[in-house]
Chains A and B, each alone.
Chain A
Amino acid sequence: MCTRTFWSSPGRTSPAETGLLLVLVLVLLEGSVLHAVAGASSSAADVTNHHAPTNESGHQKKPFPVLDLNYEHVQTPFEISLWVLLASLMKLGFHLIPRVSNIVPESCLLIVVGLLVGGLIRLAGEEVPPVMNAEVFFLCLLPPIILDAGYFLPIRPFMENLGTILMFAVVGTLWNAFFIGGLLFAVCQINPGYPLELHQLELLPCLLFGSIISAVDPVAVLAVFEEIHINELLHILVFGESLLNDAVTVVLYHLFEEYAGAGTVTVLDGFLGIMSFLVVALGGVLVGAIYGLLAAFTSRFTSHMRVIEPLFVFVYSYMAYLSAEMFHLSGIMALIACGAVMKPYVEANISHKSHTTIKYFLKMWSSVSETLIFIFLGVATVDGKHHSWNWVFVTATVILCLVARVMGVVGLTYIINKFRIVKLTTKDQFIIAYGGLRGAIAFSLGFLLDEVHFPKKDMFLTAIITVIFFTVFVQGMTIKPLVELLAVKKKQEAKRSINEEIHTQFLDHLLTGIEDICGHYGHHHWKDKLNRFNKKYVKRCLIAGDRCEEPQLIAFYHKMEMKQAIELVEKGGAKMPAIPSTVSMQNIQPKKAVPQERMLGQLSKGKEEEIRNILRTNLQRTRQRLHSYNRHTLVADPFEDGVILRKKNVMEKKIKEMNNYLTVPAAPPDSPTMCRARLASDPQAYSMKPTADDVPTIHVDLASPQSPDSVNLVDELKKKSEPTSDADEGLVMRAPSQNRSEESDREQQKLMRCLSDPGPNADEDEDEPFLP
């Protein structure tokens, strides 16, 4: 969710912007209008139904309806799609208006949009659809976000700070819950001479309310913290806390809900609560880990059916979540555990494309989910029938939330700093306290409350919404300037270099050795033991082929080289890099060409020609092996890639030129014939055909280096130069063999397409070894 500034002109809106705004307004109106239409058409449908039986009995012929409106048939999916479309267009819209999105975080804007949509629907006279249904939220909207967080969780900082995170999550949330609940009860009881409805509020409902409102929300934290790019430590502290406090929230919620009817809580109940907490937390993690191992094991056998690999990841994770929820365990922790456990093994087994697919799908779903959640929050706010405003209660809640959070963080940090090597400074504490945002989980939990036992449910909901709005708007908007003001350390954008990797591992071994000498079984010792166990037993079971023997360092190195090769090809375009030696994954000898720009330096014309010839001859040769079209096999279609679209104009120009040479005019590039022809030659079916003239050959494979699918651009140049013509354009045209250069163009681009992987975030760090 990085803000890209497309238009920097401050005052004027470009026509595209205005166009987009119009589209957005239209969608908003359409949404609200359709609800009205829904109401109308349902009545119309009833009328026609009544007519039908009389027709049959009387055999009367009515004119055949040429155009008919049947909204009910598609109502539910249509509305869902409309909401998703609205959410996505909103996201697009915000990025096109950089001025606003730099000041206001996306979450605020989305809530405002939700308010607008809700308002429009109200104005249209219809009832606001009950979109913020707790089931929809917990079963459909929340899991993608959590899975995305868990799968890409940076394990190393998380584990290193686990103690701190647990302290904040467990003790902090408990403190918050009891402090807020208790003091709210006290506030409600004051002023006894003036009997208010607040006096009816008992202690237990207050405590329940406290436990609902005290939990830091992962969705809100993610949304806001993503934009401020804060340093890794603080990010993982706040984010980890928001994830792990789910267990506490679940236990407290159920505990107080159970006993709110009874009215009292005894010591035994407290003890059972503690037991329950352990069961919920550890049980959730266990369930997640089991499903994660299952997914890893399954991925070991998917080498022949690569297309469904991502499906396993998603389905197993979702099942973990549902299973945990079934037993009232912590679904969020199950999901995190599943993602974190399965990732290193699955990554080793799946193909490169599946990896990209998983990454993209997770990002897409979580992004849409998050947008929808905030919009629905806005819509649900407008839904008036669930609100009951009470000044005292609401203001007391807001103030107490802030106070409790600050006190909790300061107190806990004091204790934690005694055990930490790198202490948390005051600035850190401030950011942690300020980053405690509440969000939709609190709202949904409030929604789930039973009206019978909690007659003050509406008041609770109003207070919850107020706190959410306050934290998201006020804290969300001001945290960015505050971070700048306090000069908090920001995230370091650069990728991990091979040096860092080697030296970090070196230091790990060193420290393990020192710890062994001292006899002090610390952090490094256990990590080392776990790594050894992992290498010896677990990896053998879960990783296919001989990848299980691959040391972390080599895997990291391969990934890095692959990325670099991809970048090289993308930058280079039609020109291959100047290194005449082998550019293979196994054997990089970069020599003096340190900066990548130098690699694309000046090629002599002769060499350039040689390379072009090689490409042309080889690529056209393999095109002769056409496979039958199968829509289940993943093949690359070069025309779909953005990289290629840049060349499309050049291509089309050339095709026009070429038509002069061809006897049969070539079909336009995106006609079905051409598409099918392109799709049909599977890039992964390239193999070495021994050629009559020893023109060098090129392997193009993907995925893991040691399997037969490795990227292995072996370019054995033989000294064979050919006469050049105008070398300015990407291809050289010569009279007789012209009809082949068009196709080789496409083949060449297919080559690039196979290797290109434009990821959403270039520095998305998924290169973490198991326990780095």
Chain B
Amino acid sequence: MGSRASTLLREEEIEEIKKETGCKLCQNAPLYLSQTSITNPVFNSVFSREDFQRIPELAINPLGDRIINAFFPEGEDQVNFRGFMRTLAHFRPIEDNEKNKNAAPSEPLNSRTNKLLFAFRLYDLDRDDKISRDELLQVLRMMVGVNISDEQLGSIADRTIQEADTNGDNSISFNEFMKVLEKVDVEQKMSIRFLH
């Protein structure tokens, strides 16, 4: 595993992370995160997959593997604290004053679109910007368990795609995904309160 050297996060790093993720209390983040099951991130500023897999609740979560994979950028096996916070920043609650701020250079990570994009990427494993029938089937199978027959799941998947698909390509693109979820209060659903 990574070195146990007590490498505290440098001030510049914290500033950068704050700017990127918008987490104001970022310097206190180690305090929050020290409650996690991941070994103390301050001292161990890279995580690997095994760190995540040690969390027992994630093992029984049907989407556990995919969530873990979402933290790691493409192809890499380790993620540092910055990347970790970057992913977590998607779940910050949307604040009102941010809605008015037009001066942000790019859309903040926790905007509705980015939240949905994060979720979309969890479905779309091969990153072709479409949720195909197979990908949907995989997710359904994970959520539903083993007792349901394949045909049933297949018909549910077909029905789902049929409902969402507007351009007839038999898969769900990101725009269709957003449209389907327009009635769901994503800002509230995909937010964790303490990440202010």
Contacts and interface: CB of A to CB of B under 8 A. Distances in A.
A15 interface: no
Interface residues of B, number: 56
Given A507-B190, A519-B35, A554-B144, A594 B162 contact: yes
B184 A517 contact: no
Contacts of A519: 33, 35-37
A515 to B, nearest CB: 6
Interface in B144-171: 144-145, 147-148, 151-152, 155-156, 158-160, 162-164
A516 B61 contact: yes
> Which secondary structure characterizes the binding site on chain A?
helix
Interface in A144-188: 160
B58 A513 contact: yes
Contact of B67 (A505, A513, A522): A513
Contact of A511 (B62, B145, B189): B189
A506 interface: yes
B88 A421 contact: no
Nearest to A505: B143
B112 to A, nearest CB: 12
B148 A506 contact: no
B144 A500 contact: no
A514 B143 contact: no
Given A492-B183, A499-B164, A502-B140, A421 B191 contact: yes
Contacts of A498: 156, 159-160, 163
Interface residues of A, number: 43
B184 A511 contact: no
Nearest to A586: B152
Most central of A497, A507, A513 by chain B CB within 10 Å = A513
B93 A421 contact: yes
A422 B88 contact: no
B180 A509 contact: no
A403 interface: no
Given A422-B185, A510-B63, A516-B58, A551 B155 contact: no
Contact of A513 (B33, B63, B190): B63
A617 B141 CA distance: 42
> Which secondary structure characterizes the binding site on chain B?
helix
Contacts of B152: 554, 586-587
Given A498-B156, A509-B61, A587-B152, A517 B145 contact: no
A516 B71 CA distance: 14
B160 A500 contact: no
B30 interface: no
B187 interface: yes
A249 B47 CA distance: 55
Interface string B44-64: 000000001001011011111
A506 B119 contact: yes
B64 A510 contact: no
A160 B193 CA distance: 13
Interface string A539-571: 000000000010101100100000000000000
A553 B144 contact: yes
Nearest to A499: B180
Contacts of B117: none
A217 B55 CA distance: 48
A517 B187 contact: no
B167 to A, nearest CB: 12
Given A421-B193, A517-B38, A520-B194, A503 B184 contact: yes
Given A499-B164, A500-B183, A517 B67 contact: yes
A497 B181 CA distance: 10
Interface in B7-43: 32-33, 35-38
22 contacts: A421-B93, A422-B185, A499-B180, A500-B180, A502-B139, A502-B160, A503-B119, A504-B184, A506-B119, A507-B189, A509-B61, A509-B62, A513-B57, A513-B64, A517-B55, A522-B193, A525-B57, A549-B147, A551-B144, A551-B145, A554-B148, A586-B155
List 8 A-B pairs, minimum CB-CB distance, nearest first.
A519-B36, A516-B57, A513-B67, A519-B35, A499-B180, A509-B63, A513-B61, A421-B93
Given A509-B62, A518-B192, A588-B158, 15 more contacts: A419-B193, A421-B193, A498-B156, A499-B160, A500-B183, A500-B184, A502-B140, A507-B184, A517-B36, A517-B52, A518-B36, A519-B33, A549-B147, A586-B152, A589-B158
Interface of B: 32-33, 35-38, 52, 55, 57-58, 60-64, 67, 88, 91, 93, 96, 119, 122-123, 139-140, 143-145, 147-148, 151-152, 155-156, 158-160, 162-164, 177, 180-181, 183-195
